[in-house]
Amino acid sequence: MKKILIPILIATLGLFVAKVIAQEKSQNMETAKTAPEQPTKKVEKTDAEWQKELTPEQYRVLRKSGTEAAHGEVYKEFKQQKGGTYYCAGCGAKLFTSEHKFDAHCGWPAFYDAADNKNVKLVDDVSFGMIRTEVRCATCDGHLGHLFKGEGFDTPKDQRYCINGVTLTFVPAGEEKKETPVEKKEK
């Protein structure tokens, strides 16, 4: 009896470990070597399309206004990242830069400003009995996190964009696509 049970137990344990690793992987922040193409108009997709394109965790946060676990894998990655730019994992719009990044010790990526104010949308959020300001991507309407003001952080702007890392794609500095100059053909 024991001889049969042990291999089954090992196999079950193996499957469990594989599942945990797979889950952790899907909760990482995406990194890319080149900056994504900047969307020129609003990005609208059906729920099924989003579900297909995004990882389950990205879908849960971006499309269902979920919140990633505090102090998770993404936060650890974020703290280790050097200079670079953060793009929307849903549509590629430029959202934040490392220039505005700071350690708020809150367990989520924090920025004191957006890369471009027109790329983020602020919405009043009264869910969970609190009055908060929700931050959404202005291009694809994906939920990014919340904006808190007046917390007294020692940053140039007394505000904290508290952002779910899975909603971002990080492109390290120097790997960003340079503005391509219009090529002129000499005759």
Active-site residues, by number, are 162
CA dist list (Å): 125 to 21, 58, 77, 121: 34, 20, 28, 12
The smaller minimum CB distance to Zn ion, of residues 86 and 112, is found at: 86
**138 interacts with Zn ion by CB under 5 A:** no
- For Zn ion, the closer of residues 95 and 104 by Cβ is 95
Based on the number of CB atoms within 10 Å of its own CB, is 57 exposed (0-12), middle (13-18) or buried (19 or more)?
Answer: buried
Q: Where are the beta strands (DSSP E) in the chain?
A: 30-31, 84-88, 94-97, 110-111, 120-125, 132-137, 143-149, 159-163, 168-172
Stretch of residues binding Zn ion (CB under 5 A), selected from 29-37, 101-109, 133-141, 170-178:
133-141
Q: How far is the CB of 166 from Zn ion (least distance, A)?
A: 13
Q: Which is nearer to Zn ion, 44 or 103 (CB)?
A: 44
Interacting residue with Zn ion among 29, 137, 144, 147 (CB under 5 A) = 137
* Positions 77 through 106 that interact with Zn ion (CB under 5 A): 88, 90-91, 93
Q: Give residues 140-179 in contact with Zn ion (rule: CB under 5 A).
A: 140, 142
Q: Work out how close the CB of 89 gets to Zn ion at its nearest, in angstroms, rounded to a whole number.
A: 8
Give the Cα separation of 13 and 6 in Å (integer). 10
- Could you tell me the smallest distance in angstroms from the CB atom of residue 108 to Zn ion? 18
115 contacts 96 by C-beta, under 8 angstroms: yes
- End-to-end alpha-carbon separation of the chain, Å? 85
Query: Least distance from C-beta 60 to Zn ion, angstroms?
Result: 15
Q: Which residue has the tokens 């090529």?
A: 183
* Residues in binding contact with Zn ion, number by CB under 5 A: 8
Which two tokens mark 14? 């193996």
Q: Does 139 bind Zn ion (CB under 5 A)?
A: yes
User: What gap in Å lies between CA 53 and CA 112, rounded to an integer?
Assistant: 29
Nearer to Zn ion, 139 or 164 (CB): 139
Return residues touching Zn ion (CB under 5 A): 88, 90-91, 93, 137, 139-140, 142
